[in-house]
Structure 1
Amino acid sequence: MRTRISWRGAIGLAAAGASLVMAGSAAAQSDKLQEALSATWPGMVEGATVVDWEGKVLQEGSNGYTCMPSPPDLAGNAPMCLDEVWLAWAKAWQNEEPFTADRLGIAYMLQGDEGASNIDPYAMQETDDNQWVVEGPHLMVIAPPELLEGMPTDPDNGGPYVMWEGTDYQHIMVPVGARDEPEGD
């Protein structure tokens, strides 16, 4: 389950380009840094900025991507790396403000996620009618709305699909690995 509270501080600081003093144990910082960077491909690791959920900058970067470890209140693993367009999207989503992409943006979640509704951007847990999807390793692509027209919305179609279709937060999910199947399936 995710909470939007965790996103507010980190996304806001990342979007503002905050530079904060490192605090906490070196081992804990190293663990957060490694987890955050596990969201992306090896060629991006060195140049990415890494921010923890308390807003501490763990690594200054120069490639335009900001990576974050899994939210601390999440039981599982869901680190992410966002470009500038995705940071703007995340800030709008977090504050329930309008957002329209004017160009492509790419985000990496190569460790997968703990699940989200495919239809409701603010669902916090699975229900009988919110099409909950626990996605394996994936990319997310933001595009101007007209580029999303005609794309599939079914997360079980075997390829990319539009998540949160028709909302200001719609984006393309691009699976790059197998999903973990729930126990008992």
Structure 2
Amino acid sequence: MIQTDRDEQVRAAKIARAMASGPLRITKDATIVEMDHQGNTVVLRQGTNDWVCFPGNENEIGNVPMCADPMGLQWMKDIMAGKPAPTNSAPGIIYMLCGATQHSNTDPTDKTSPPIPIGPHWMILWPYNAARDGLPNTVRDAGAWVMFDGTPYAYLHICGTPWDGNEYLPGQAPIWTMRYGAPNEPPSG
């Protein structure tokens, strides 16, 4: 009986962590699954939409909470299986709004380099090329870059959430507030 209560608490914590990985309007109806030691998915909660969310394992680099649409899930399965290129037939989306750790920004197969911490982000999984698309290919704490540039698994990595920033509403007057200054120096004036 005590083990059952503990098992339910662990299950509830995993579901909550998976739901935090993406927008609530998606995760509230998503199927929540985790991977067992053989790489099979175990359903923690059946959903009613096409999204699948994973709680991840905070003790493993690269095994982070995420939520994927069907094409994003296909892309993820392909990279995990070591396929030479992704097989998704349309762009996919994966949310990682809890942040992540990754071994490499350039090599999707790297499992040994020191971890790179990456803040909350989401990804558009479709062939991107940094030079062709005029985008950076280095890890950033804001904005976007092409992750795994030059490989078949290159994709657009967007830091923050789609809801970052101020929302413009009709009738409002825009006010430019962006400023720059030297770090750790008091403003002059």
TM (normalized to structure 1)?
A: 0.71
Write out per-residue CA displacement over residues 36-95 of structure 1, whole angstroms, 9 at most, x where no aligned residue.
Answer: 111011211221010022232111112211101123642798200111111111121112
Matched with 2:160 is 176
Preserved contact between residue 101 and residue 145 of structure 1 (Cα < 8 Å): no
Preserved contact between residue 75 and residue 92 of structure 2 (Cα < 8 Å): no
Identity of matched residues, %: 29
2:15 aligned to which of 33, 36, 41: 33
Indicate the SS of the match to 2:73. Answer: helix
1:107 aligned to which of 66, 73, 94: 94
TM (normalized to structure 2)?
A: 0.69
Q: CA deviation at 1:144?
A: 3.9
Preserved contact between residue 148 and residue 162 of structure 1 (Cα < 8 Å): no
Indicate the SS of the match to 1:86. Answer: helix
Matched with 2:168 is none
Matched with 1:70 is 56
Matched with 1:149 is 132
Residues 1:45 and 2:31 aligned together: no
Matched with 1:161 is 145
Q: CA deviation at 1:158?
A: 4.0
Preserved contact between residue 100 and residue 145 of structure 1 (Cα < 8 Å): no
Aligned-residue CA RMSD (Å): 2.8
Matched with 2:122 is 139
Q: Which runs of 5+ in 2 are unaligned?
A: 1-5, 162-189
Indicate the SS of the match to 1:107. Answer: strand
Q: Which runs of 5+ in 1 are unaligned?
A: 1-23, 178-185
Larger radius of gyration: 2
Matched with 2:105 is 118
